[in-house]
Chains A and B, each alone.
Chain A
Amino acid sequence: MISMECPSMNQELFKQGAEARIYKSSIFNKPCIVKERFLKCYRHPTLHKKLSDKRMIQEARSLVRCHTIGVRTPLVYHTDLDTHKLYLELLPHPLLNDLISSLEAREQQSADITDTIRDVGRQIALMHDNDVIHGDLTTLNILVDIKSGDSYFIDFGLSSVSSLSEDKAVDLYVLERAITSSHPKMSQLFTDILTSYAQYSSKTAKTLNKLKEVRQRGRKRIMIG
């Protein structure tokens, strides 16, 4: 992993993510975002370093890998492992989550984002065909270019490389749960994503079968008070 001296930059807090803080900045005269895995006081320092190192490296690797295979992701401009900062291309697009919420609020059907939903299914299939497991597929980690309807994938900190259909199925299951718990009225969207996922390539059939198994396991989980 390359680590150069931190380029001078002025930062403004842009988003507080699920794990990291995102700042807007610029690098090489281009606007960028800086994803910082800041020190979490609650976490033991040894554990914190282990997790932050691993996730940042994994995120950078998977972003590059996705870019190579043609999954839409932000470009990686620079990495700084000492400060746990990733410098990424700024994608000036809204979150899929916010688009769904606004549809939900207007009690509209998903017609507006049909193309996007199809694209999401295709992109995930493309990732999986290349053995990239995202690890945190949620609607907060997908950005949508409204004009073109194209979807972009971010947040690969929990990603891994695996050819197992089990891992791919769990990836889909995470997305299903995120959609049904955050947008209970819009669960049809996940079905639409799966339809497009299935159409993408013949390899996806195995994963979809496995998904049924993974779901069953979830429901059968014993719960004792």
Chain B
Amino acid sequence: MSIAIGFEGSANKLGIGIIRDGVILSNLRCTYITPPGHGFQPKFTAIHHRSEIIDLLQRSLKTAGVDPKDISCVCYTKGPGMGAPLVSVAVVARTLSQLWGKPLVGVNHCIAHIEMGRHVTGASDPTVLYVSGGNTQVIAYSNRKYRIFGETIDIAVGNCLDRFARVIKLSNDPSPGYNIEQLAKQGNRYLELPYSVKGMDVAFSGITSHIESVAVKAMESGEYTKADLCFSLQETIFAMLVEVTERAMAHTGSQEVLIVGGVGCNERLQDMMRQMCNERGAKLCATDERYCIDNGAMIAHTGLEMFKCGVTTELKDSWCTQRYRTDEVDILWRD
């Protein structure tokens, strides 16, 4: 029996999760929310994480009913992510590892999303769409690596949504993407937006600048409502994501799609993906906000898989990195 504790704080979500051999004992999260019109800055996000982490840790241990001496390893997000928040959390993981005398395991955040998604849904060898505030990738496993088939060539899809939410001054609570999703349900006039797919890659910055320039005018003239714009934006960017996922499936030959990352809990995206899967006789595996959105359990779960394969991170190597590509990690726990 092995128990792992995982610390995640690469963006504005601070999460701590405790896992016993795949069973989630606790998975608590605390989100740094900024006022409408504002994004989260690294410095203030790190301050948020620092001020919340001890309390969150105590609650996590209590919820899980676990004594630190029963823990096998302390896992933390090594990257990718925002520098200051990453470090603010890694410091705590490092200290606990010393204090408790437990080995440290540095985990790739993207790999953790994928592994948690596979674990929760039971997907065995899916084509993965990883969509979040900082990432947009289409990924599949082969030969000990998660290979990137397609990705964004400029900004991430979540970033595109967040920026738009700021332009139309939507609330960031619980997240800009969630509020766009809710508002889009009332929209129905489709505004044509740039659509950019290159092979299996996508680009969003053209859409962002286009909609920003027309959005305000279209709303002022009353031609399109806020809801119509949310609707049009979602329909366009999600169609691009579904299309590149389908293109990757032609390569992988896989009949499963797994959606992970914060944008992955959007139900409209899931619906569209499910329809594409049905047309191809494939199956969609999706998770809800507990696992899609950054969380500590995914770091604990993946760290434990690594630990069982003999991977640990020495103190001197326990740094963080803002850039850490999905295809850099050796996936020792899969065939």
Contact residues in A for B252 (Cβ distance below 8 Å): 182
A47, A136, A184, A223: which contacts B142 (Cβ < 8 A)? Answer: A184
- Report A149 CB to chain B, min CB distance, Å: 24
Q: Nearest A residue to B273 by beta-carbon distance?
A: A42
Which chain B residues (227-265) contact chain A, with CB distance < 8 Å? 235-236, 239, 242-243, 246-247, 249-252
Contact residues in A for B148 (Cβ distance below 8 Å): 177, 181
Which chain B residues (76-104) contact chain A, with CB distance < 8 Å? 77, 79-82
Which chain A residues (165-221) contact chain B, with CB distance < 8 Å? 170, 174, 177-178, 180-182, 184-185, 217-221
Binary A-proximity of B104-129 (CB < 8 A = 1, otherwise 0): 00000110000000000000000000
| Cα A4 to Cα B322 with chains together (Å) | 57
A44 in contact with B323 given A224-B10, A225-B132 (CB within 8 Å): no
Contact residues in B for A137 (Cβ distance below 8 Å): 199
Q: Is A40 an interface residue (CB 8 A)?
A: yes
B149 contacts A222, C-beta separation under 8 Å:
no
19 contacts between A and B (CB under 8 A): A17-B250, A19-B247, A46-B190, A47-B195, A47-B235, A47-B236, A50-B192, A136-B247, A170-B198, A174-B200, A177-B148, A177-B199, A222-B323, A223-B135, A224-B82, A224-B135, A224-B156, A224-B322, A225-B11
Could you tell me which A residues sit within 8 Å of B by CB distance?
16-19, 38, 40-44, 46-47, 50-51, 97, 135-138, 140, 158, 170, 174, 177-178, 180-182, 184-185, 217-225
Interface residues on B, range: 35 or more
Contact residues in A for B135 (Cβ distance below 8 Å): 223-225
A18 contacts B134, C-beta separation under 8 Å:
no
| Cα A174 to Cα B150 with chains together (Å) | 9
Q: Which 9 A-B pairs have the closest CB atoms?
A: A224-B134, A225-B10, A18-B250, A225-B109, A174-B199, A42-B272, A42-B275, A223-B80, A181-B147
Could you tell me which B residues sit within 8 Å of A by CB distance?
10-11, 77, 79-82, 109-110, 132-135, 140, 142-143, 145, 147-153, 156, 190, 192, 195, 197-201, 235-236, 239, 242-243, 246-247, 249-252, 271-273, 275-276, 279-280, 294, 322-325
Other A-B pairs, 7, CB within 8 Å; known A181-B147, A225-B80: A42-B242, A47-B239, A140-B251, A158-B198, A178-B251, A222-B323, A224-B134
Contact residues in B for A46 (Cβ distance below 8 Å): 190, 192
